[in-house]
């Protein structure tokens, strides 16, 4: 674990980066007291499944089963235009 002051991190970033790679962690201090901890960034690769239209269609059927049919957007627009 490396230790650097805020000023050192600002002015000597390449050294801070090397210390981070070497030690895996750098404690940043201000007036000799720890204020932050630098750790390497670890990207989390979240793999999304590909969109499957047939599975989505099945989900829609399950979701809407038993519910009364709602008017379509076209019907609602026509109704709104007639009222206005």
Q: For residue 6, is it left (φ>0), alpha (ψ between -120 and 50) or beta?
A: alpha
Tokens of 71: 């008017």
Boundaries of domain holding 19: 1-27
In total, how many domains does the chain have? 1
DSSP state of 18: H
Answer whether residue 83 is part of any domain. Answer: no
- The partner residues of 2 in beta bridges, in order of sequence, read 26
Tokens of 24: 């895996």
Answer whether residue 44 is part of any domain. Answer: no
- The partner residues of 29 in beta bridges, in order of sequence, read 5, 34
Answer whether residue 80 is part of any domain. Answer: no
Digitized pLDDT (tens) for each residue of the chain, 84 residues in all: 789 999 999 999 999 999 999 999 999 999 999 999 999 988 888 888 999 999 999 998 899 888 887 888 999 999 999 987
Q: Please work out, in degrees rounded to the nearest 5, the angle formed at the alpha carbon of residue 20 by the alpha carbons of 14 and 24.
A: 170
Model pLDDT, residue 66: 82
Q: What is the pTM of this model?
A: 0.51
């Amino acid at each position: 674990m490396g230790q650097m002051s805020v000023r050192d991190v600002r002015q000597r970033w390449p050294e801070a980066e090397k210390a981070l790679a070497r030690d895996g962690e750098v404690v940043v201090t201000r007036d000799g007291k720890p204020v932050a901890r630098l750790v390497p960034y670890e990207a989390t690769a979240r793999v999304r499944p590909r969109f499957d239209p047939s599975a989505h269609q099945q989900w829609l059927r399950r979701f809407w089963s038993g519910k009364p049919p709602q008017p379509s957007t076209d019907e609602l627009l026509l109704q709104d235009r007639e009222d206005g």
